[in-house]
Amino acid sequence: MNQTQQTISRLHKIWWVPLITGLLCIALGVWCFIAPAVSLEVFSYVFAGCITVAGALNLCYAYTNSSVNGNWGWSLTLGLIEIICGIWLFTMPAATLAVAFAYAMGIWVLVSAICSVSEALFFSRYSLGWTIFMVILLALTIVAGIYFLTVPLLGGILGWLWIGCSLCLFGLYRMFLSFKVRSITDDLP
């Protein structure tokens, strides 16, 4: 079994990790659309909890792939950033939480999308069409993250829409990734 087959085999065992992180992102994104009037402080703490859990899952994902996949460092980096960011948000005083959350959200969206490009490109040998679709989703996520960072305190409904769009786009990518990882072992010799 070559290195690529080993990587796919290991990824197949934990295909559910990106699915869970994707569902968390989509749930938060939908929440932004449904309840934009919810307190920013409450959303910040929910986001901090979710991002900390996602960080722990990404550390597991990186550890599982460390011996067979050269791209495992991206998952490790993302996991560490997510855990640090989540803990940092939990320790922020309420008076500065809104500003800190806005920047943390923008940075997380950018780092997550950039790290995920390497995952999408890894699968290009199995499905070029799928890879192009995933990279387009990630590019849209990066644009939304850059926009959010350049105008972090948009306020009102527009800010929630950008947060919701960014989370839903990244969540869709993670879900599609998990389904691809789960199904790709059928294509292995």
CB-hemisphere CA count at 13 Å for 31?
Answer: 15
Q: With 60 as the cut, is the pLDDT of residue 157 above it?
A: no
- Cβ atoms of 48 and 90 within 8 Å: the answer is yes
Q: With 70 as the cut, is the pLDDT of residue 155 above it?
A: no
CB-hemisphere CA count at 13 Å for 118?
Answer: 14
Query: 125 to each of 6, 19, 72, 100, how far by Cα in Å?
Result: 15, 22, 18, 40
Amino acid residing at 164: G
* Maximum CA extent, the chain: 58
pLDDT at position 77 is 85
- This prediction's pTM: 0.63
Tell me the two tokens of residue 134.
Answer: 């995933």
pLDDT digits (tens, 9 = 90+) for 79-135: 898 899 899 988 988 778 777 877 787 788 788 788 777 777 777 777 777 788 888
- 3-13 and 156-184 helices, crossing angle to 10°: 120
Amino acid residing at 37: A
pLDDT at position 156 is 47
Q: Which of 78, 176, 165 shows the shortest CA–CA distance to 126?
A: 176
- Cβ atoms of 189 and 2 within 8 Å: the answer is no
Q: What angle do CA 78, 80, 86 make, to 5 degrees?
A: 100
pLDDT digits (tens, 9 = 90+) for 46-58: 888 888 988 998 8
Give percent of the chain with pLDDT exceeding 70.
84
Amino acid residing at 25: C
CB-hemisphere CA count at 13 Å for 88?
Answer: 17
